[in-house]
């Protein structure tokens, strides 16, 4: 069986935009593993029943089915120890950067771009997305992002921990990327795939790092459908 | 030569309050290494000339002189590989938690407690401290902290990355503490040693973790002079 990664998309099956799917996509490329992307939409939970899971990413790797991006990273390191390591045999210290990503970076991006996502979705999943996100944010989505230009400076300030590390070394992983880079980059690819909002200033060390990430693996992420911001 | 740690204090030589010195103090205890605390005050740069450095902590370990808390942690792991590890042979993934600590946690605490520090200082270093910190904050120190009760909820919200990790495991290092714990705990010991402000709510997972850290090594940190908050 070919290796398959179930990934979130909207009406365009090639525009994969989930930050968690991007983590796994980058992790597979990091391990130099080919895979077939299987497009999946928000409302297609039935199609993941085989994985006993209701969200993507789901990786089918031979006879192994692995759900959840964190579990996928651990699986890849265990199954392919000869490829460059993602978690270097000790996942624990990566939990904090993932927690910061989930508590600070990802919500920060959501408040800037969430209203750009519905136009990318098909007729079936668009109502689901709008309803569930309006419930989460407690207001219409265009109101969530109405003052986003005003809030950009605060968002950029909140990236200071990244800036400190990336001012001293090219990747969060040191001289080469590791899973910490893929976690954070996944959030930026989510924004880049769905919105034309320019999150990062030209002179920002975080932007320079994002450029390096876009260049990895022959420009895999750079070639993905995006709005170029 | 006995092992010596030069540590910041004020008029009371036992009330060690620098967050960076607490990192090294906890690191030495983690490695089960005895040391003599050498009290040092802000204005005594001449006394560190032997280390070609102007800040504490400075560790004198036999014929080795190591300045800077990060270098001290690396030295301890290299020199004492048989003791429990601080950085597990790979310092890189610890840089992000240290960057978050330095960019978010430590400034957050400073804006809450800085006005409590001058009364702890001697006549010589108090003017230096007030002048340098008022320059940094751009206002008198009592104005920095005047509305601190109002700002406490936002400070607590900013701890969410810690809360996510510590909701799933007892220490940032996993089942046992490692250097990530000591970095973050150092900031909390700075607050606890200098201020009676109650930073953490009783029900907070971060507070429960701080209690576990206070209990380590026979309650070493719990016995240190503090204001009990």
pLDDT digits (tens, 9 = 90+) for B124-143: 999 999 999 999 999 999 99
pLDDT in tens, chain A (229 residues): 589 999 999 999 999 999 999 999 999 999 999 999 999 999 999 999 999 999 999 999 999 999 999 999 999 999 999 999 999 999 999 999 999 999 999 999 999 999 999 999 999 999 999 999 999 999 999 999 999 999 999 999 999 999 999 999 999 999 999 999 999 999 999 999 999 999 999 999 999 999 999 999 999 999 999 987 6
Rounded to the nearest angstrom, the minimum Cα separation between B14 and chain A is: 32
Closest-CA residue of chain B to A100 = B161
CA A75, CA A68: separation in Å to the nearest integer?
A: 10
Dihedral, B67, B70, B73, B77 alpha carbons, nearest 10: -110
Q: If you compute the radius of gyration of chain A from its CA atoms, what whole number of angstroms results?
A: 17
Strand, coil or helix: B113: helix
Does A93 sit within 8 Å of B93, measured CB to CB?
A: yes
- Tell me the average pLDDT across B58-85: 98
CA B203, CA B201: separation in Å to the nearest integer?
A: 6
Closest-CA residue of chain B to A90 = B88
Burial (0-12, 13-18, 19+ Cβ within 10 Å), B34: exposed
- Tell me the average pLDDT across B146-167: 97
Give strand pairing partners of A9.
A16
pLDDT of residue B1: 57
CA B63, CA B79: separation in Å to the nearest integer?
A: 12
Comparing CB atoms, the residue among B92, B163, B169 nearest residue A173 is B92
pLDDT of residue A2: 82
CA A39, CA B55: separation in Å to the nearest integer?
A: 56
Comparing CB atoms, the residue among B103, B162, B180 nearest residue A160 is B103
Comparing CB atoms, the residue among B88, B92, B103 nearest residue A164 is B103
The per-residue pLDDT of chain B, averaged, comes to: 97
Q: Are B101 and B184 in contact (CB under 8 A)?
A: yes
Does B94 sit within 8 Å of A172, measured CB to CB?
A: no
CA B36, CA B61: separation in Å to the nearest integer?
A: 11
Comparing CB atoms, the residue among A88, A93, A100 nearest residue B161 is A100
- Tell me the average pLDDT across B183-197: 98
Chain B residues lying within 8 Å of A95, measured CB to CB = 165, 168-169, 172
The sheet carrying B36-40 orders its strands as B36-40, B4-8, B58-61, B64-67
pLDDT of residue B2: 82
Inform me whether the pLDDT recorded for B82 exceeds 70.
yes
Does A92 sit within 8 Å of B169, measured CB to CB?
A: yes
Q: Are B9 and B39 in contact (CB under 8 A)?
A: yes
Residue pointed to by tokens 């201020």: B195
Residue pointed to by tokens 């919500």: A107
Rounded to the nearest angstrom, the minimum Cα separation between B205 and chain A is: 14
Chain A residues lying within 8 Å of B103, measured CB to CB = 160-161, 163-164
ipTM reported for the complex surpasses 0.90: yes
Q: What phi, psi does A40 have (nearest 5°)?
A: -140, 140
CA A37, CA A34: separation in Å to the nearest integer?
A: 10
CA A130, CA B69: separation in Å to the nearest integer?
A: 49
CA B140, CA B118: separation in Å to the nearest integer?
A: 12
CA A123, CA A88: separation in Å to the nearest integer?
A: 43
Provide residues of B within 8 Å CB-CB of chain A: 88, 90, 92-97, 99-100, 102-104, 160-165, 168-169, 172-174, 178, 180
CA A123, CA A116: separation in Å to the nearest integer?
A: 15
CA B138, CA B29: separation in Å to the nearest integer?
A: 38
Q: Are B68 and B14 in contact (CB under 8 A)?
A: no
Give residue-wise pLDDT tens across range A40-76: 999 999 999 999 999 999 999 999 999 999 999 999 9
DSSP state of B93: T
Cis upstream peptide for B57 (omega within 30°)? yes
Q: How many CB pairs under 8 A join A and B?
A: 80
- Tell me the average pLDDT across B186-210: 97
A96, A108, A181, A184, best to mutate vs chain B, most B CBs in 10 Å: A96
Strand, coil or helix: A145: coil
């Amino acid at each position: 069986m070919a290796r398959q990664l179930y990934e979130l998309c909207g009406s365009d099956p090639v525009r994969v935009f989930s930050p968690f799917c991007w983590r796994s996509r980058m992790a597979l490329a990091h391990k130099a593993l080919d895979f077939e992307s299987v497009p999946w939409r928000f409302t297609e939970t039935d199609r993941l029943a085989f994985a006993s899971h209701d969200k993507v990413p789901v990786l089918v790797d031979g006879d192994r089915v692995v759900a959840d991006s964190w579990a996928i990273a651990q699986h890849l390191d265990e199954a392919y120890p000869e490829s460059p390591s993602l978690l270097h045999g000790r996942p624990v210290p990566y939990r904090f950067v993932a927690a910061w990503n989930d508590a600070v970076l990802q919500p920060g991006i959501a408040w800037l771009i969430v209203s750009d996502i519905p136009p990318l979705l098909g007729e079936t999943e668009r109502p689901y997305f709008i309803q569930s996100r309006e419930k989460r944010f407690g207001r219409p989505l265009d109101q969530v992002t109405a003052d986003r230009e005003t809030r950009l400076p605060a968002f950029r300030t909140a990236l200071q921990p990244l800036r400190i590390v990336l001012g001293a070394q090219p990747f969060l992983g040191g001289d080469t990327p590791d899973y910490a880079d893929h976690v954070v980059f996944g959030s930026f690819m989510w924004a880049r795939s769905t919105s034309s909002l320019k999150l990062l200033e030209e002179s920002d060390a975080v932007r320079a790092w994002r450029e390096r990430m876009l260049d990895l693996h022959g420009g895999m992420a750079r070639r993905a459908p995006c709005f170029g911001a």
